[in-house]
Chain A
Amino acid sequence: MSPSGKLKIVWARSLLSSSIKQVSGSKSETPNPSITHVGLVAATYRPTGPGFSLFHSSEPAQQHPRRPTTSPIATAESVLPSARQGSTTLAAAREFIRSRVLFAACVVLFLACFAPRLNAQTDCLSCHSDVTMQDANGHNVGVNADTFHSSVHGTLECSACHTSITAYPHPDHPQAVKCAACHADEAAAVVGSVHEHASDHPCTSCHGTAHAILPKDNPKSAVYPLNIPATCGKCHGDAAMAKQHHLANVYPQYMDSIHGYAVSQEGLLVAANCESCHGSHHVLSHTNPLSPTFKTAIPATCGKCHAGILTQYMTGIHGQAMASGNQKAPVCTDCHTAHTIVRPTMAQSTPVCGSCHQAQLSTYRDTFHSQVSNLGSYVEVARCSDCHGEHEILPASDPRSPVNPANLVKTCGRCHQNANAGFVKYEPHANPHNRRLYPVLFYIRSFMVLLITGVMTFFLLHSLLWLIRSLIEKAHRRSVKGEK
Chain B
Amino acid sequence: MPDQKNSGTDIELPNPSVAPVINAEKVPERFFTRFTLLQRYMHAIMFTTFLGLAATGLTIRFSTNAWAQHFALAIGGFGAILFLHKLCAVVLSLEFLYHVQNIAVRIVVRKEKGLLWGPESMVPNLKDLKDIIGNFRWFFGRGPKPKLDRYAYWEKFDYWSVFWGMIIIGASGYVMWFGPFFGKFLPGWALNAVQIVHGEEALLAATFIFSIHFINAHLRPDNFPMDTTIFTGTQTEEEFKERHPEEYARLVDQGRLEQALTTKPPTWLLNFSKVTGFTAVLIGLLLLVLTVSAYFRE
Is B79 an interface residue when CB atoms closer than 8 A count as contact? Answer: yes
Which residues in B have their C-beta under 8 angstroms from that of A159? none
A426-B188, A452-B207 known; A378-B79 Cβ under 8 A: yes
A375 and B77 contacting across the interface, CB-CB below 8 Å: yes
CB of A466 closer than 8 Å to a CB of B:
yes
**Taking the complex as formed, is B55 at the interface, i.e. its CB lies under 8 A from any CB of chain A?**
no
Least CB distance, A465 to chain B, in whole angstroms: 4
A424 to B222, CA, bound (A): 54
Tell me whether A466 and B139 are in contact in the complex, defined as CB-CB below 8 angstroms, given that A371-B60, A377-B77 are known contacts.
yes
B63 in contact (CB, < 8 A): yes
For residue B42, CB closer than 8 A to chain A, the reply is no
What are 13 A-B residue pairs whose CB atoms fall within 8 Å in the complex?
Answer: A372-B60, A375-B77, A379-B78, A420-B180, A426-B188, A427-B189, A440-B193, A448-B196, A448-B204, A452-B207, A463-B212, A463-B215, A468-B139
Task: Tell me which residues from 38 to 70 in chain B have a Cβ below 8 Å from any Cβ of chain A.
Answer: 59-61, 63-64, 68-69
Q: Which residues of A contact B208 (CB under 8 A)?
A: 455-456, 459
State the Cβ distance, A340 to closest chain B Cβ, in Å.
23
Contacts of B188 in A (CB 8 A): 422, 425-427
Contact A368-B176, Cβ < 8 Å, known A444-B197, A465-B140: yes
Closest A residue to B181 by beta carbon equals: A418
Q: Does A176 contact B (CB under 8 A)?
A: no
**Cβ contact within 8 Å between A374 and B196:** no
Using Cβ atoms and an 8 Å threshold, which residues of chain B touch A432? 192, 196
**Quick check: A440 and B73 within 8 Å, CB to CB?**
no
With a cutoff of 8 Å between Cβ atoms, the chain B residues found around residue A420 in the complex are 180, 183-184
Determine if A426 and B179 form an interchain contact, defined as CB atoms under 8 angstroms apart: yes
Knowing A455-B208, A460-B211, A465-B136, the reply to whether A449 touches B77 (Cβ < 8 A) is no
A66 to B: closest C-beta gap in Å: 68
Other contacts beyond A372-B60, A470-B222: 18, CB < 8 A: A370-B63, A371-B60, A372-B82, A375-B72, A376-B72, A378-B79, A422-B188, A426-B183, A427-B189, A427-B192, A438-B189, A445-B196, A451-B201, A451-B204, A456-B207, A456-B212, A462-B154, A470-B221
Q: Which residue of B lies closest to A456 (CB)?
A: B207
A87 within 8 A of B: no
Please provide the chain B residues from 188 to 208 with a CB less than 8 Å away from any CB of chain A in the complex: 188-189, 191-193, 195-197, 200-201, 203-204, 207-208
B186 within 8 A of A: yes
A243 at the interface (CB under 8 A from B): no
Contact among B59, B141, B204, B221 for A452, CB-based, below 8 A: B204
Q: Residues of A contacting B77 with CB < 8 Å?
A: 375-379
* A21 vs B245: C-alpha distance when bound (angstroms): 121
Interface centre among A379, A462, A467, A471 (most CB of B within 10 A): A462
The answer to whether A422 and B183 touch across the interface, beta carbons within 8 angstroms, is yes
Does B220 lie at the interface of the complex (its beta carbon under 8 Å from any beta carbon of A)? yes
Number of A-B pairs, beta carbon distance below 8 Å: 146
Nearest residue, chain B, Cβ from A379 = B78
Closest Cβ of chain B: how far from A403's Cβ, in Å? 15
- Contacts A375-B77, A466-B220: A423 and B59 contacting too (C-beta < 8 A)? no
> Nearest Cβ in chain B — how far from A72, in angstroms?
79
Q: Which residues of B contact A378 (CB under 8 A)?
A: 77, 79
Nearest 7 CB-CB pairs, A to B? Answer: A425-B188, A423-B183, A376-B78, A448-B200, A374-B63, A418-B180, A422-B183
Kindly state the interface size class of chain A when it binds its partner. 35 or more
Whether B138 sits at the interface, judged by CB under 8 Å, is yes
Beta-carbon contact of A452 and B200 below 8 Å: yes
User: Which residue, B136, B191, B220, has most C-beta atoms of chain A within 10 A?
Assistant: B191
Contact in complex: A426, B60 (CB < 8 Å): no
Interface of A is mostly: helix
Shortest CB distance B89–A (Å) = 15
Say if the beta carbon of A365 comes within 8 Å of chain B: yes
Does the CB pair A423–B64 fall under 8 Å?
no
A242 within 8 Å of B (CB atoms): no
Min CB–CB distance B188 → chain A (angstroms)? 3
Q: Which residues from B are CB-within-8-Å of A452? A: 200, 203-204, 207
- The answer to whether A371 and B61 touch (CB under 8 A), given A430-B192, A448-B201, A470-B221, is yes
Shortest CB distance A411–B (Å): 14
Asked if B230 is at the interface of the complex by the 8 Å CB criterion, the answer is: no
Cα distance A365–B63 in the bound complex, in angstroms: 9
- Output the nearest chain B residue to A452 by Cβ-Cβ distance: B204
Measured between alpha carbons, how far is A187 from B263 in the docked complex, in Å? Answer: 104
Q: Determine if A368 and B221 form an interchain contact, defined as CB atoms under 8 angstroms apart.
A: no
Given contacts A375-B59, A420-B183, contact A463 B216 (CB under 8 A): yes
Alpha-carbon separation in the docked complex, A395 to B221 (Å): 62
**Which residues in chain B, 153-200, are within 8 Å of chain A measured between CB atoms?**
154, 161, 176, 179-181, 183-189, 191-193, 195-197, 200
- Distance in angstroms from A99 CB to nearest chain B CB is 95
Interface 0/1 of A243-262, CB less than 8 Å to B: 00000000000000000000
Residues of B within 8 A of A425 (CB): 183, 187-189, 191
Please report the C-alpha to C-alpha distance between residue A422 and residue B181 in the assembled complex, in whole angstroms: 9
Q: How far is the CA of A421 from the CA of B79 in the complex (A)?
A: 27
- Report A359-382 residues with CB < 8 Å from chain B CB: 365-368, 370-372, 374-379, 381
Residues of chain B lying within 8 A (CB to CB) of residue A474: 221
User: Once bound together, how far apart are the Cα atoms of A470 and B138, in whole Å?
Assistant: 10
Q: Which residues of A contact B207 (CB under 8 A)?
A: 452, 456
CB distance from A471 to the nearest CB of B (A): 6
Residues in B with CB closer than 8 Å to A381 are 78
CB-defined contacts of B222 to chain A, threshold 8 Å: 470
* B81 at interface by CB-CB < 8 Å: yes
B193 touches A416 (CB 8 A): no
A43 within 8 A of B: no
Tell me if A419 counts as interface (CB < 8 A to partner B).
yes
Smallest distance from the beta carbon of B63 to chain A beta carbons, Å?
4
Partner of B191, one of A370, A418, A423, A467: A423
Q: Does A441 contact B (CB under 8 A)?
A: yes
- Does residue A197 face the partner (Cβ distance < 8 Å to B)? no
CA distance A137 to B127 in the complex (A): 107
Kindly list chain B residues whose C-beta atoms are within 8 Å of the C-beta of A419.
180, 183
